[in-house]
Structure 1
Amino acid sequence: MARYTKEMILQMAKEEDVEFIRLQFTDMSGTLRNMAVTSSQLEKALDNECIFDASTLDGFSGEDENELYLYPDLDSFAILPWRPQQGKVARMICDIYQPDGTFYPECSRGILKRVLEEAKSMGYQFVAGPECEFFLFHTEEDGTPTTLTHDRAGYFDLGPLDLGENARRDMVLTLEDMGFEVESSYHEVSPGQHEIDFHHCKGLEAADSLMTFKFAVRTIAKRHGLHATFMPKPVTDSNGSGLHVNCILRDELGKNLFFDESDEKGLSKTAYYFMGGILKHIQGMSLITNPLVNSYKRLVPGYEAPVFVGWATKSKSQIIRIPAARGNRTKIELRSPDASANPYLVLAAILAAGLDGIRNKMMPPACMEENLNNLSLKENPETGIETLPGNLQQAIQAFEEDAFVQNVLGEDFSRRYIEMKKAEWKEYIQQVSDWEISKYLYRI
């Protein structure tokens, strides 16, 4: 049920002295974009009459796409608490539509909506809880970000060791002002690395919340003279930052469909099939869940990132872990994604793969609780254990070979996404790195 109507938003904007409204949307690569309008244009925006030129944005490259429409989701209306209290600034998250009033097929939020509707038609509600890690680094005098931090804290450390404690506290308070239910926040393993976890939400709200979360974290970090980055692996010899996605399927009455007390591990057939679908498609999904050249610098053994395609209830070396909670809190945790990814596409791919597993009754391989990082890569073929793609080029190839994942995104979206990622890989392999100079310049 909708929380807000057009009339309610107009009234709130007037009462709260809102002067600017940011109409936000997410491009193909997962970057948050916006167009600001003044309060005098708010009614026009609420009538879906705001047009933007999309011809130069990622995923919007056709000449016929230079005029698209922003349709705001009224329930996403929120006042930005860090902006001035006189002449406040609010935001609304938007879907993208074509001039004829139909959904723009390359709108990533629309892609997730389509998969959620498919789940609903099967009697399922999808709930997701992201656990998002990030780094706080110093900036230069001109605001340019660095990869430097004076912080030497580790996992669960507190002040004075945790030098980001004050900034993280302000982030939590800001998020709560925006309606988030923050469950926990703490210092992560690497110096300068942090995590903030918030309440599980239904699928679309979870993706919206993650985009808002990243936007708020960066903004508050800047107010503290810091730079927040969700880059997967910004420091060579430190753990990278992941985006662990906890998934639950519920029926229309809210019952958790992943739990079965009669099963040895407390898991239902639905849970096993859901895992089976993810594990079948995870290679092709990796271009979505881990979309950068840098993503694959994180996915290496020895830095607590999962590399192996399998599942466990304890070991964290595999991409899926089943946390200990059972009953209505039973969930499947996918540990391989990182926060550089477009969250709408990540959730769409996870849910679609899980539904494919349910439809086709795909059982996952046997649970393996041992730490697979103790196995050498050479041993993997003998054990039948697969690993994730080792670099962006391998991920592109796996995506091209998985027609199902491409179909989830749509033919045009997939084609453009592949083109963008191939261009990124080509640009990367042509670069001469500092490592190459250091390794070879004086020896060759």
Structure 2
Amino acid sequence: MIESKHRATSDPEARKDVLKRIKGEKVEYVLFWFTDLEGHLKSFAITPGEIESALDDGMGFDGSSITGFNAIEESDMVAIPDPNTFRLMPSRPGESIVGRMICDIVRPDGTPFEGDPRFMLRKALERMQSMGFDTFNIGPELEYFLFKDNTGTETLDEGGYFAMTALDAATELRNETIQALESVGIPIEYHHHEVAPSQHEIDMRYAPALEMADATITYRLIVKEVAAKNGVYATFMPKPLFGENGSGMHTHMSLFTDGRNAFFDGDDEYNLSATGKAFIAGLLR
């Protein structure tokens, strides 16, 4: 049994707002999400009756079976839900009303767990701020394939890059996916068929790094769930088809200070500031 210590550090008003929403929306279950050290999404569900104490103190769990977490002799971990990440999950008529919050992982004494990817990103952002920057924007382009089922690689179409509806069998499925993504607060810029048969891309609008990290794990799950509900299988596997383009995740990055792009210098031959050049060098190193 993990002792209660009121471990939450979130805004009390934000916690109250979540409680009101859960009651007002008649939420039946709330999913607590976090990722392991390899980026795999993990989840467990709690009932509304447990939410208030969970928001204040977190929910204990056994971390010994989570990749990159603690060994069994020190397996007690605590998931602290971030109330700012509360969303209603997309659902169809007749399905349960389910909410979700993304969690930070701490030890029983309330100290952050160093193996929590969300904590690692927070530390990197703290370092960014110590260097004089205030915003790190990320804009990823996630590509994925749709197959007829999960037993093979039979494609839905033979379309190519920017294929029109006649060669793009999943236009409506992408439209449904976008509706689901935007319903959980993820703004979408555009979508299209990609280069390979049955390959697709839905582009999220750029956002600050932590917000985008949360959006990316949500995106991946929603793409898979919408596909499954339509009887097909979605995969982000890098190279499922021999001889065809693989899937990637091109990532646009920018640093800002007081609304100014720290990578831009109009007087430079390449319009790149010294900061921008150093950033590129760091990526190439």
TM-score of Structure 1 vs Structure 2, range by shorter chain? over 0.9
> Which structure 2 residues correspond to residues 140-219 of structure 1 after superposition, within 5 A?
144-219=150-225
Runs of at least 4 residues off by over 3 Å: 1-4, 83-87
Contact in 1 for aligned 2:86/2:99 (Cα 8 Å): yes
Contact in 1 for aligned 2:91/2:97 (Cα 8 Å): no
Contact in 2 for aligned 1:17/1:86 (Cα 8 Å): no
Q: Could you say which structure has the higher strand fraction? A: 2
Distance 2:12 2:54 in 1: 18
The question of 1:117 aligning with 2:126 is answered yes
Indicate which of 58, 79, 85 corresponds to 2:67: 58
The question of 1:260 aligning with 2:265 is answered yes
Instruction: Decide whether aligned partners of structure 1 residues 263 and 153 sit closer, same or farther in structure 2, where only a CA change above 3 A counts.
Output: same
Distance 1:101 1:117 in 2: 19
In the alignment, structure 1 segments of 5+ residues that lack a partner are 281-444
Aligned match of 1:279: 284
* Identical-pair percentage: 40
Larger Rg: 1
Distance 2:123 2:50 in 1: 30
Count of aligned pairs: 275
Contact in 2 for aligned 1:181/1:199 (Cα 8 Å): yes
Aligned match of 1:360: none
In the alignment, structure 2 segments of 5+ residues that lack a partner are 1-9
Distance 2:151 2:213 in 1: 26
Shift, 1:224, TM fit: 1.0
Residues 299-323 of structure 1 show CA distances to partners (whole Å, capped at 9, x for unaligned) of xxxxxxxxxxxxxxxxxxxxxxxxx
Distance 1:148 1:248 in 2: 38
SS of 2:195's equivalent in the other structure is: coil
Aligned match of 1:367: none
Indicate which of 247, 256, 261 corresponds to 1:241: 247
Instruction: Decide whether aligned partners of structure 1 residues 61 and 97 sit closer, same or farther in structure 2, where only a CA change above 3 A counts.
Output: closer
Distance 1:118 1:64 in 2: 33
Shift, 1:48, TM fit: 2.5
Q: Which amino acid in 1 is paired with 2:263? A: F
Contact in 2 for aligned 1:2/1:75 (Cα 8 Å): no
Q: Which amino acid in 2 is paired with 1:42? A: I
Distance 1:190 1:51 in 2: 44
Which structure is richer in relative contact order (CA contacts within 8 A, separation 6 or more)?
Answer: 2
Shift, 1:65, TM fit: 3.5
Shift, 1:87, TM fit: 4.6
Instruction: Decide whether aligned partners of structure 1 residues 29 and 155 sit closer, same or farther in structure 2, where only a CA change above 3 A counts.
Output: same
Contact in 1 for aligned 2:146/2:156 (Cα 8 Å): no
The question of 1:76 aligning with 2:85 is answered yes
Q: Which amino acid in 1 is paired with 2:205? A: H
Contact in 2 for aligned 1:134/1:241 (Cα 8 Å): yes
Contact in 2 for aligned 1:83/1:89 (Cα 8 Å): no
Shift, 1:97, TM fit: 0.3
Residues 70-118 of structure 1 show CA distances to partners (whole Å, capped at 9, x for unaligned) of 0111110000022556751000000100011100111111011101000
Aligned match of 1:132: 142
Q: Which amino acid in 2 is paired with 1:127? A: N
Instruction: Decide whether aligned partners of structure 1 residues 148 and 60 sit closer, same or farther in structure 2, where only a CA change above 3 A counts.
Output: same
